[in-house]
Amino acid sequence: MADPRLTKSRFVAGWQCQKLLWWTEHEPDATELVPDKVLQDRFDQGRHVTELARLTFPGATLIPPGTDSARIEATKLALDFGAPAILEAAFAADGVFVAIDALAREGDGFALVEVKSATSAKDEHVPDVAVQAWVARQNGINVRRTEVMHLNTDFRHPDTGNLFAHTDVTAQVEEFLPRVPPLIAEFKASMAGPIPEIAIGLHCHEPRTCPFYDRCWPDDPWHISMLYRTGPKGTDTYFRQGVHSIRDLPPGQKLPAIARRQIKALETGKMIVEPTLKAALRDAMGDARVGFLDFETVNRAVPVWNALGPWRAAVVQFSYHEEAGGNKHTHLAYLAEGPHDPQAELSERMLEATKGVEKILMYTPYEHTQIKQLAERVPSMASDLKALAAKLVDMAPLLREHVYHPGFNGSFSIKDVLNPLVPDLSYNDLAIVDGMVASVEIARLLFVAHKVKDRDQLRNDLLDYCERDTWAMVRLLGRLREIAA
Ligand code: SF4
């Protein structure tokens, strides 16, 4: 059997996990490998960043798409013609094909540049760059230096600072290079053999969550990864101690009060309500009339509105419910339209909507952070926005510190707590059920509306999603008051 073909992305997949690599090779059509809307948006933004990075190499030759051999041949020609830089420079060695973002002449050799849409160089970039440098050197290219060209956090739209920053990774790459040939051999053998036995662990989360996560990890509320605030690193530590289930925890294990409440709820199968809930609700809101606020934001790799930096969130939508006496509530919403900066208009509408209340509930401090940033970006309304921020009360701690339902599965995200506490309400009837998807869809609606088939429908779906977030808070507060009483 011929050696399986490796590319730099497969090399990186193998570096994360050989089972992931094996599935990528043997099940290329697996549904898990089809990018979802959020990942596709990340790829699209990455492509845009690469296109802008290319403009910083004047006189460069871009190797066009085509077969591996045609691209390799075109690269040879560009080298022979003495191109100052070659973009998508293609090489192969030992069955590994790579296309280098930029190979720029420097003295008697070349700098190998890997373009990333991240805002810094990361450890995970080192094997990625190392395999490219190794293949290029096998082809006689004198790679003198390697760097990651990434977005610069200090850049502000439209033209404050440079959009790109450069981090030299030569030392780390040179240190990694001797590992490349044995890793190539290992990955090829692994791809050609039966599915490798790989235990779950930290590598399932790092450098990114594995697409096959749900195939490998158990769906078990008692699994140790479900323990409140354990996280990937904590789970890995427990695994090393032989603890895989919450039931395996040694007696006397030091745990946060919330995790202890979780275990008690799992053992009894019942919701735990601390007697402190009533006082906490009174302290948080007293007898004030309450509003409920939720934002949706867009995050663009390359910022498009004034004073924004790469990947900085900008508020573009809000939903606001307000108590109106009895069981009645009013509702107001805003969703930006068109590609212009909506933050001043949004601030004005939000200030108008919320002017009559003393307390406004948010779920997690996200809205507080965003309003503080709005105050910087819309200085004419800064004092009113700061006054609004002072009215905000985070609802999440009211649940976290005082209530645990076995259905929470160790999470206090609004989507995880809503259905266990308010069984007649969920997000399942909505077309959009996730904040990240909402963010990507809003960006489509604002910036590439011509590509959206049914704009009115998408707009309504987005309005429904954000409204559900604040309505969920209304219902959760009602339920908390009920159980506290
Ligand atoms: S979930 Fe973990 S063990 Fe399973 S393929 Fe992915 S990285 Fe490997």
Q: Is the CB of 20 under 6 A from ligand 1?
A: yes
Closest protein CA for atom 4 of ligand 1:
216
How confident is the model over 370-421, as pLDDT tens digits?
999 999 999 999 999 999 999 999 999 999 999 999 999 999 999 999 999 9
| Domains of the chain, first to last | 6-192 (3.90.320), 218-254 (no CATH), 278-484 (3.30.420.10)
CB 200 less than 6 A from any atom of ligand 1: yes
pLDDT at 214 over 60: yes
195 CA from centroid of ligand 1 (Å)? 12
CB-ligand 1 contact for 414 (6 Å cutoff): no
Ligand 1 centroid–CA 149 distance in Å is 29
Q: Which two tokens stand for residue 405?
A: 């339902």
* 189-to-13, 91, 169, 324 alpha-carbon distances in Å: 15, 22, 29, 67
Give the whole-angstrom CA distance, residue 304 versus residue 119: 16
Question: Is 212 near ligand 1, meaning CB less than 6 Å away?
Answer: yes
Asked if residue 198 has its Cβ within 6 Å of ligand 1, the reply is yes
pLDDT band at 2 (very low <50, low <70, confident <90, very high): low
Give this prediction's pTM: 0.92
Q: Are strands 109-115 and 96-106 parallel, antiparallel or unpaired?
A: antiparallel
Cβ atoms of 337 and 303 closer than 8 Å: no
Q: Counting atoms of ligand 1 from 1, which one is nearest the CA of 210?
A: 6
N residues, the chain: 485
Smallest CA separation from ligand 1 atom 3, residue: 200
State mean pLDDT over 10-37: 97
Ligand 1: atom nearest CA of 198 is 3
pLDDT attached to residue 4? 63
Q: Answer yes or no: is pLDDT of 464 > 80.
A: yes
Nearest Cα neighbor of 235 from 213, 261, 212, 251 is 213
Q: Whose CA is nearest to atom 5 of ligand 1?
A: 20
Mean pLDDT estimate for the chain:
96
d(CA 349, CA 320): 11
Whose alpha carbon is nearest atom 7 of ligand 1?
Answer: 204
Q: 10 Å Cβ neighbour count for 13?
A: 22
| Cβ of 17 below 6 Å from ligand 1 | yes
Q: How far is the CA of 232 from the centre of ligand 1 (A)?
A: 13
Which residues fall within 8 angstroms of residue 67, CB to CB, at 6 or more apart?
none
Q: What is the mean pLDDT of residues 178-182?
A: 98
**Model pLDDT, residue 180:** 98
What is the token pair recorded at 411?
A: 């999470």
Do 398 and 277 form a contact (C-beta atoms < 8 A)?
yes
Q: How confident is the model at residue 1 (pLDDT cuts 50, 70, 90)?
A: very low
**Residue 17 alpha carbon to ligand 1 centre in Å:** 6
Given a cut of 60, is residue 46 above it in pLDDT? yes
Peptide bond into 221 cis (omega under 30): no
Q: How confident is the model at residue 326 (pLDDT cuts 50, 70, 90)?
A: confident
21 in contact with ligand 1, CB cutoff 6 A: no
Query: Which atom belonging to ligand 1 lies closest to the Cα atom of 20?
Result: 5
Does residue 201 have its Cβ closer than 6 Å to ligand 1? no
Distance from chain centroid for Cα 265: 31
What pLDDT score does 3 carry?
Answer: 59
Ligand 1: which of 210, 223, 225, 236 to mutate, most ligand atoms within 8 Å of CB?
210
Question: Does residue 256 carry a pLDDT above 90?
Answer: yes
Question: Both tokens of residue 217?
Answer: 């990890």
**Using an 8 Å Cβ cutoff, are 122 and 207 in contact?**
yes
446 Cα–ligand 1 center, Å: 36
Tokens of 463: 């309005």
Contacts of 126 (CB under 8 A, 6+ apart): 169, 172, 173, 176
Cβ of 385 below 6 Å from ligand 1: no
